[in-house]
Amino acid sequence: MFKRMIGVLAAGVLFSPMASAGLIFGFDRITNNGGADGVDSQLTVDVSDEGGGQVRFTFGNAGPLASSIADVYFDDGTLLGISSIINGAGVSFTGGSASPGDLPGGNAINFNTSAGFLADSDSPAQPNGVNPGETLAIIFNLINGKTYADTLAAMALSLANPGVDMLNGLRIGIHVQGFANEASESYVNTGGPPTRVPEPATIALLGVGLLGVCFGTRRRRSA
């Protein structure tokens, strides 16, 4: 029972407002068109609580390998529609449509882009995409009543069932161009939520909570 209570407490801390600064997910390649190996390790999406019933997805390309995120796709989940797009320096994206209209190669993992849940870089695609050192943020409105925690749970559901278009699950796909050999590849989010260093406030909350559990257990035993 004691271990179970700690688990519940830890889960509550993970999904508390103080712990919602953002969780970073990686990407795995799902196509094999000759693009450079290792690019997947430099592509990330940071999922954070925007507040007001919104969630922000910030795409990053750490480099150094030549590559450009040219299209992004979202498959189901807690999302209602794109609220806004924030282009980083050197990036220019438009939401609501993309070419191609679905994640290339996504049929192999039953990836079905939800209507309007996509965006692509403006022409010329590769220079305006997310190149090394650049970022792109897409802010989504959530379905009424859904929260940031629900969004993370939807992503976890899909990660636990790879290759399946899960009802209420959420996956993120990206189409990457600009490789040195001019190939293009598709990727889907994976590896999350990864372990991250808790914020000081979160550590303090966890410590207080654990002390409370321990104290309560000792009192019951004494009684």
Q: What number is the average pLDDT over the span 115-128?
A: 96
Question: For the whole prediction, is pTM greater than 0.85?
Answer: no
What percent of the chain is predicted at pLDDT more than 90? 70
What count of other Cβ atoms lies within 10 Å of the Cβ of residue 192?
A: 20
What count of other Cβ atoms lies within 10 Å of the Cβ of residue 191?
A: 13
Write down the domain spans for the chain: 24-195
Q: What are phi and psi of 207, to 5 degrees?
A: -65, -45
| Tokens at 80, concatenated | 């209602």
For residue 25, how far is the Cα from the chain centroid?
5
More confident residue, 166 or 212: 166
CB of 190 closer than 8 Å to CB of 42: no
CB of 153 closer than 8 Å to CB of 11: no
User: Domain 24-195, what fold?
Assistant: Immunoglobulin-like (2.60.40)
Q: Which helix (H) or strand (E) holds 189?
A: strand 185-190
Q: Collapsing DSSP states into helix, strand and coil, what is residue 128?
A: helix
CB of 71 closer than 8 Å to CB of 98: yes
CB of 92 closer than 8 Å to CB of 122: yes
Residue 36 CA to residue 44 CA, distance in Å, equals 17
Which strands form 43-49's sheet, in the order they lie side by side? 79-87, 134-142, 54-61, 43-49, 23-29, 185-190, 171-177, 68-75, 118-121, 93-95
Residue 62 CA to residue 64 CA, distance in Å, equals 7
Give the model's pLDDT for residue 76.
Answer: 87
CB burial of 107-128 (b: ≥16 within 10 Å; e: otherwise) equals eebebebeeebbbbbeeebbeb
Q: What number is the average pLDDT over the span 59-71?
A: 96
Q: In the 8-state DSSP scheme, what is residue 193?
A: S
Give the model's pLDDT for residue 21.
Answer: 59
Count CA atoms closer than 13 A to 219's CA, side-chain side: 6
Q: What number is the average pLDDT over the span 90-105?
A: 95
What Cα–Cα distance (Å) separates residue 62 from each residue in 59, 184, 209, 215?
A: 10, 18, 37, 46
Q: In the 8-state DSSP scheme, what is residue 68?
A: E
pLDDT in tens, 66-87: 999 999 999 989 999 999 999 9
Give the model's pLDDT for residue 65.
Answer: 94
